[in-house]
Amino acid sequence: MADDSDPFAPTQDHAAELEDARRRAREDATRHAEDFLDRPLPIIAAAETLARRRIAVLEAARADRLGELECAVEDTRREAESAAARHAAVRQSLAAAGVPRDELDLPPFDAPMAAGWRIGAPLAAAGAGAAVALILGLRTTGVVVVAVVCAAIAYAGLVATEEPVVESARLRKLRKARLTVEAALLAAQHAHETARERLATLHEQVRALARAERALAEEMVATYVTELTSAMPPGALADGHRVAVQRAPRVDLPDWAQEPS
């Protein structure tokens, strides 16, 4: 394992270790094949040592990254709480200024708002439509009288829309402030959720990496045995001699690498 290896990206290191196991097996088969027959192979202890060392390096890297992510979670949590408090304070100021609860989250009224708009505009439209329909459809004297009445209603509706009610500058300022703090609140909440997700991902990632290191030890032994057997010189496996079945490497995982119960 090179000093500059990244324990969070071990693919190349693993490939190099397996290739080294093949090389060692070919050399051992050529130089002293008979010494490796019918007995445990030294590759097992070597694979166990390598796996434990790599897991120790991973643990140190995990501790560093864990500290960074936990700080990020705490910092973003405090910022989200602060933004929520500022947002609540602005809404309380709007309520104290007489804004109804169901209108606290409305945008600022930058133009005059007509007092009779909600009633006058529909009334004007209905009266005008009824007047036109009656005049065009039925031109009797009685109908014309009714049409005139509808037209008068329409005129009254239009007049009602001409009385503007303008929100005070203070209310408009508070509404704009609410929009600003609401945007900050949403951004802070998103940052906090992202930090929490990154922390959870780290826990899952290091568990998987630790298991991969243990699996590497097992694969190294299997690769070595296969390569050793195939590289044995002619006659080395005669008279009942063989490469003994090897035990699996024993590599215990630390608590942080265990699956959560």
Q: What is the pLDDT of residues 149-207, one digit of tens each?
A: 444 555 455 444 544 556 788 999 999 999 999 999 999 999 999 999 999 999 999 99
> Does 6 map to a domain?
no
Q: How many domains does the chain have?
A: 2
104/133 same-domain check: no
- Section 80-87 average pLDDT: 98
Q: Tokens for 30?
A: 């050529």
93/203 same-domain check: yes
Q: What is the pLDDT of residue 134?
A: 54
Could you give the CA distance from residue 47 to residue 213 in angstroms, rounded to a whole number? 10
| Torsion sign across C-alpha atoms 110, 114, 115, 121 | negative
> Does 5 map to a domain?
no
15/140 same-domain check: no
CB contact at 8 A, 221 and 24: no
Distance of CA 257 to the CA centre of its chain: 22
Residue at a domain's end among 147, 165, 183:
165
245/186 same-domain check: yes
Q: What mean pLDDT value characterizes the chain?
A: 83
Tokens 């959720």 found at = 193
> Does 4 map to a domain?
no
33/132 same-domain check: no
- Section 17-23 average pLDDT: 97
64/145 same-domain check: no
CB contact at 8 A, 87 and 104: no
Is the pLDDT reported for residue 147 higher than 50? no
31/118 same-domain check: no
Domain limits for position 139? 113-165
Q: Tokens for 222?
A: 């299997």
Is the pLDDT reported for residue 106 higher than 80? yes
Is the pLDDT reported for residue 231 higher than 60? yes
More confident residue, 178 or 113: 178
> Does 183 map to a domain?
yes
The model's confidence at residue 116, banded by pLDDT at 50, 70 and 90, is very low
> Does 29 map to a domain?
yes
Question: pLDDT, tens digit, for every residue of 117-133?
Answer: 444 455 555 555 554 45
Q: What is the pLDDT of residue 56?
A: 97
pTM for this one? 0.70
89/184 same-domain check: yes
Q: What is the pLDDT of residue 73?
A: 98
Q: Which residues contact 223 (CB under 8 A, 6 or more apart)?
A: 18, 21, 22, 25
